[in-house]
A = this chain, B = another copy of it.
Amino acid sequence: MFKRILIANRGEIAVRIIRACRELDIETVAIYSEADRDALHVKYADHAYLVGPAPSTESYLAIDRILDVVKKSGADAVHPGYGFLAENSDFARACRDNKIVFIGPSPEVIDQMGDKVKARAIMKEAGIPVVPGSEVLDSEEEVEKAADQIGYPFMLKAAAGGGGKGLRMVRSAREITPAYRAVRSEAASSFGDARLYLEKYLVHPRHIEVQILADQHGKVIHLYDRECSIQRRHQKIIEECLAPALDYKARRNIGRIAIQGARAVGYVGAGTLEFLLDREMNFYFLEMNTRLQVEHAVTERVVGIDMVKAQIEVAAGAYLPWKQRHISPTGHAIECRIYAEDPERDFMPCPGRIEGLRLPEGLGVRNDCGVYEGAEVPIHYDPMIAKLIIWGENRVEAILRMRRALREYQVRGIKTNIPFHQWILRHPRFMVGDFNTGFIDEEYGASGTEDVFPHKEIALASAAIAALHRERERAARILERGATETSRWRESARKTVLRTVGGERKRQ
């Protein structure tokens, strides 16, 4: 087993990995940028190294600097978390070249899955349904030809794409030219790779994914499925395990298919195969994430496995101790991602100082939180500050418990999407599981900001009382100051008078 693991990340995921290491009695090395000296992950780690200035290109993405710290710190393994370098094959390769264990799959696998066209080809060959689409296309004419086969609308996508960048929807032939130019230039500038392909556009599919664990000895199991259809700006905000969309048969099927896919690439470690599910319950491979997911915690709760520990053990060469038939899901888990953002201002990020923080607690509540009361949310990084993971005996209990927990959650100083989560959790379509990736666009814009004020009098009275107290504190400060000043003033006045009197005396 490893003696010391460097965590090449920050925020809640760094804290989460530190916790796992501590429970395994492995020392942890945190890296931090100049903006993160006071961050929670620095406080919780055993070792901490400054790695560079605030911009992530100079700190959390600076491979050379991080490798330097790995060597200096004596760490024998690196956990990349998610985001930053988690799917960077150069980093994984540099680790290997330096005889440091990269906790994740091999650079070759990262490369294969990072290239969307190659990944599609591998999966297709392994007998896994993929979204109908093309090979790499080299001209507008090729796009037109492929479009005729697949039909409109379709998505034009960068082969090296990801994270909602480098893609355009094309509704008709005359949109091909502008889309082609836009995607090509975005692909070149964002990914340094101008290749593109097209994919059939599925109308409001559901987003389903399967969690995979594989060891170095050829054993592959799946830890069931998750649904992540509640998204805004292509970003997941609520995830569930198990996926409400799947029935028993579809569940067994998609699990089996996912293992097939993981085997096809010789996968090792924790990974996720993402699928789109259409209205006819057909699913199509979308992409594979070769790392821990943000939403891994819902799976952990339902299958009862600490996935970060499993990653570490697999990376150390251990055999997976579980058989597929021993993995049995119990109950239902939901995760709400807590963002520092203002849902009423179009989800604008809201960095700043967290003046107050109270987390919800009690049965079935898990907090994975990367901040603390008094902490700064820096402007340089992702605005996700915490995750709230709720378990219930079934989906209904989980929803009701999530509402209860969100109500206990208090964040002061910055705005968050907690009220927005409340709105989703109260939505009838969410409650019955009737949603897809278009849910927020369809529903949130329509109903707009809720102007419902059930406790108007209480809120108004509270504001007035708070104002009264503020006024009083101000007055008290002035009074207190006044009191000491007065006594000092009297004293000084007395002295001046005495001096003057003395002067007059002299003169007399």
Contact = CB atoms under 8 A, between A and B. Distances in A.
A404 B23 contact: yes
Contacts of A493: 492-493, 496
A294 B493 CA distance: 67
A367 interface: yes
A324 to B, nearest CB: 17
Nearest to A495: B493
Given A23-B400, A306-B393, A481-B481, A366 B359 contact: no
B368 A362 contact: yes
A25 B407 CA distance: 13
Contacts of A15: 362
A363 B301 CA distance: 8
A469 to B, nearest CB: 15
Contacts of A481: 481, 484
Count copies of this chain in the complex.
2
Interface size of A as a range? 35 or more
A280 to B, nearest CB: 34
Interface string A481-508: 1001100110011001100100010000
Contact of A404 (B22, B500, B504): B22
A367 B361 contact: yes
A102 B362 CA distance: 24
A304 interface: yes
A369 interface: yes
Main secondary structure of the interface of A (DSSP, over half): helix
A483 to B, nearest CB: 10
A160 B95 CA distance: 70
A138 to B, nearest CB: 48
Contact of A19 (B297, B330, B404): B404
A263 interface: no
A365 interface: yes
Contacts of A492: 489, 492-493, 496
Contacts of A500: 496, 500
A304 B361 contact: no
Contacts of A504: 504
Closest 8 CB pairs of A and B: A496-B496, A361-B367, A500-B500, A23-B400, A22-B404, A485-B488, A19-B362, A489-B492
Interface of A: 15-16, 19-20, 22-25, 44, 297, 300, 304-306, 330-331, 358-359, 361-369, 372, 393, 397, 400-401, 404, 407-408, 481, 484-485, 488-489, 492-493, 496-497, 500, 504
